[in-house]
Structure 1
Amino acid sequence: MQELHSLQDLGNVHLLGIGGVGVSAVARLMLARGLAVSGTDAKELPVLDDLRAAGARIAVGYAAENLGDAETVVISSIIKAGNPEYDEAVSRGLRILHRSEGLASTMEGHRVIAVAGTHGKTTTTSLIAYMLRAAGISPTFAVGANIVSLGVNAEYGQGRVFVAEADESDASFLNYRPDVTVITNIEADHLDHYGSVEAVHQAFYEFASLLPESGLLICCGDDAGSQALAVRMRRERPDLRVQTYGFADDADRRLTDPHPRGNRFACSLEWGSGEEAELEIALPGNHNLLNAAAGFAVGLDCGLEPEVATAGLGAFTGAARRFDFRGEAAGVRVYDDYAHHPTEVQAALHAARAVAGEGSVHVLFQPHLFSRTQELHAGFAAALSEADSVHVLEIYPARESPIPGVTSELVTRGLTTAGGLVGRDEAAGVLADGAKAGDVIMTIGAGDVTEQAERILGVLEERQGS
């Protein structure tokens, strides 16, 4: 089992890539706990001014001398040998922690609620944090996105509850020691790290196994992987409390009658011996009702009255780049979504259909990573084909080098709807020209496709003014 590091033993902490959403969250919490914090990022970012105001010493541009008197260095997965500050830390023999280990140190003394899953973990973590804050519990939280409803991606609260998004992409979620674990779903992803679907499932099993005696495991009963984990843990760990949620008839927290209500979504939620509540949220789609049901289960475990839990969940308005409404022009609504797995794409399009009503849904999609596109291109094509038109940008490489033969054409070949490949410069015009009043346009992907949303709105506004 991975060694846990006590916050008081870290000394002066220097964070590499401090402007990133995950590392900046660690920095915020360490500053709030009174640590001396410094850090570096490759470029100037708005979050750096926030960290400076909180007391951090920030440098832009990596150089060995930036480490100063650091005793511990925190890094993200993208920091490698060859980075001058990383190399300097190694040469000095400094303690080097992964971002997750740094975050784990800030959890000391808290009751930890960790949310993991292939999809939905950011929204579910945010829903839980917002619900608990609205109920007056004042949780500490760390989320892997900027959350409009919360105002920040991490905050040190006055209560004993710590809510954290647990990232499975590199198995670093095994560095946490949760008391409550939420598993939204388990599917094939990040195979560049795991190598096989079986290894992904094994990692989630090991994560669930970290729960202590009487710990609570909350699993989505509608997802085959999550449900299988619940069954296995009930068999192998009878000391745990295991609960399921979903539309399935045998779910412990059961959703029924999902339906739109104006711009909101609602359903009935049943649990226990005939207990029932009305759940209404501001986020579209059945997948978000499931995320809220997971939050409701956590709320009950934290001692909230059902009506307090549902009120908090209903007031949450969303996380950045999760079906994010970017604006409307010429009667066309434009949304942006971070979806980068076929299941996420399908969920986003189901939500778009519900919002569009009689209108059409048009998508600009950008595949993320060569390895993911190689493994999942058929699934992407099938999911995207639910839209009325789909145009696809070239692959966003992020941390990867190209793989021979792997291009966005793998996705477009499998499409059964209108569209095809489109260049970055022409994309906004193509999408805007294909839409009419009442339609919905979505930009989808984990790369810089998000920038296209504003460009599309600009073209639509020009059309509206002409």
Structure 2
Amino acid sequence: MSGLAEILKLQGYNISGCDKDTNSSIIEHLKSIGCSIYQNHNTEHITNADVLVCTTAINKSNEEVNTALQKNIPVVHRSLILAELMRTKYSIAVSGAHGKTTTTSMISHILLESNIDPTIIVGGILKTISKNAHFGKSDFLVAEADESDRSFLNLYPTLAVITNIDKEHLETYKDLEDIKQTFIKFLNKLPFFGKAFLCIDNENVKSLLPIKNINAITYGFTQDANIMGEIIETTANGSTFNIYFNKNFIGQMNLNIAGRHNVLNALASIGIALELDIPLKKIQDALKTFKGVVRRFEFKGTYNKA
């Protein structure tokens, strides 16, 4: 929500909002750019509102929502606002059970370092810009696509990434098959010229293939992947790995954040960057300087020499 609020404010809209906790750095940032932020919910907050935007966590019994409905003020889900922003851009949406924020941030960082100025809406603080949103000047938009409540079905991206699929959010989905079929529906939102980047190291993602009328590019450590990674060295600070495209070696990458899972996130990001014709050298340089996301696998120190 805060990322959307920032982008809309910078587009010239008057933005106000409310939260139980108004002491966070994100709230302070929104205030600094001119957003009006109130503590707790109150019907007076929507007196001059043209539209009320909310998340799935806010239901019709909420006093502000209830009052807005009575006054015929449109109440829309946050995903519909994101969809409107995407509609006017070449948009890249990242979804999956895990790794959305980091992958979205990596893609964003590569574009920024390649002098492509994308609009960014991410679910964490991207360390290189110290924010969770950026209003770019280019025609590109990079955002997370939230599968937890099916709201990603409101989005129509140009390119999509699915990092993995797990049996979760069962308050929304009936079972794993329901989850997988919903991801297929999401991919069917792509235009005929769009592409899906799918991690086939995840068996649930792999089981979706082939998907009728979907141009799928696969990535992973498996030999069958279109974009294959081969880890050469791992340390506590990162990884060095080779990249193969359709079994042809194209280059070596250095990633300065730790974890095999982050190499997978990097493979998705590399795939997107190559699709956008970003030169390999720029991708390599960008990944070297990617610092990660706040509260995502951060090194905080040692305990008892561990």
Q: Relative to total residues, which structure has the larger helix share, 1 or 2? A: 1
Please say if 1:52 is aligned against 2:48: no
Aligned to 1:36: 14
Aligned length: 305
Aligned to 1:203: 182
User: Using the alignment, how far apart are the partners of 2:8 and 2:253 within structure 1?
Assistant: 36
Instruction: Give deviations 1:118-147, integer Å, cap 9, x for gaps.
Output: 111111001000111011101111111122
Aligned to 1:254: 228
Q: 2:292 is aligned with what amino acid?
A: G
The answer as to whether partners of 1:258 and 1:286 remain within 8 angstroms in 2 is no
For the pair shown, the structure with the greater C-alpha radius of gyration is 1
Aligned to 1:263: 237
Bigger drift between 41-50 and 155-164 goes to 41-50
Q: 2:38 is aligned with what amino acid?
A: A
SS across alignment from 1:55: coil
The answer as to whether partners of 1:119 and 1:184 remain within 8 angstroms in 2 is yes
Aligned to 1:318: 292
Q: Decide whether aligned partners of structure 1 residues 258 and 222 sit closer, same or farther in structure 2, where only a CA change above 3 A counts.
A: farther
Q: 2:11 is aligned with what amino acid?
A: R
How far did 1:275 drift?
A: 3.6
The answer as to whether partners of 1:296 and 1:310 remain within 8 angstroms in 2 is no
Q: TM-score, normalised by structure 1?
A: 0.63
Bigger drift between 131-140 and 271-280 goes to 271-280
Aligned to 1:8: none
User: Using the alignment, how far apart are the partners of 1:81 and 1:241 within structure 2?
Assistant: 39
Aligned with residue 155 of structure 1, among 134, 144, 158: 134
Q: TM-score, normalised by structure 2?
A: 0.95
Q: 2:2 is aligned with what amino acid?
A: S
How far did 1:113 drift?
A: 0.3
How far did 1:227 drift?
A: 1.7
Matches for 1:268-417 after TM superposition, within 5 Å: 268-272=242-246, 274-328=248-302, 332=303
Instruction: Give deviations 1:361-389, integer Å, cap 9, x for gaps.
Output: xxxxxxxxxxxxxxxxxxxxxxxxxxxxx
User: Using the alignment, how far apart are the partners of 1:257 and 1:128 within structure 2?
Assistant: 20
The answer as to whether partners of 2:219 and 2:227 remain within 8 angstroms in 1 is yes
Please say if 1:119 is aligned against 2:62: no
How far did 1:153 drift?
A: 0.4
The answer as to whether partners of 2:235 and 2:258 remain within 8 angstroms in 1 is no
User: Using the alignment, how far apart are the partners of 2:49 and 2:297 within structure 1?
Assistant: 40
Q: 1:25 is aligned with what amino acid?
A: G
State, as a whole percentage, how many aligned pairs show the same letter.
Answer: 32
Which consecutive unaligned segments of at least 5 residues does structure 1 have?
A: 1-22, 333-435, 440-466
Higher RCO (CA < 8 A, seq sep 6+): 2
How far did 1:198 drift?
A: 1.0
SS across alignment from 2:207: helix
Aligned with residue 61 of structure 2, among 71, 76, 82: 82
Instruction: Give deviations 1:87-144, integer Å, cap 9, x for gaps.
Output: 1111111111111112222223210100001111111001000111011101111111
Aligned to 1:92: 71
